[in-house]
Amino acid sequence: MGNGKMGFSRAIGVATKAFILERYNAYGGPKPPPINHQGIDDAFVEKASSVHYFYFYRGKWIGLQGSD
């Protein structure tokens, strides 16, 4: 950033079962499906994040609550 340029930072990390359930209990959001594998925590650094979780039963990615 600086010199009239805008910037942003993104980060990805592992969303464990504990991480997913902690975010759900703290912030609400969509009820997680049965969790039997890790998801992806997709974050804008120092801002909000969301969790991407592939739910095999329905065969698609679903968005779950991340950090706010």
Q: Is 50 exposed, middle or buried (0-12, 13-18, 19+ CB in 10 A)?
A: buried
Q: What is the pLDDT of residues 46-63, one digit of tens each?
A: 788 888 887 655 667 777
Q: What is the pLDDT of residues 9-46, one digit of tens each?
A: 889 999 999 998 998 999 888 888 888 889 888 888 87
Q: How far apart are CA 67 and CA 23, in angstroms?
A: 6
Q: How far apart are CA 52 and CA 66, in angstroms?
A: 9
Whether pTM exceeds 0.75: no
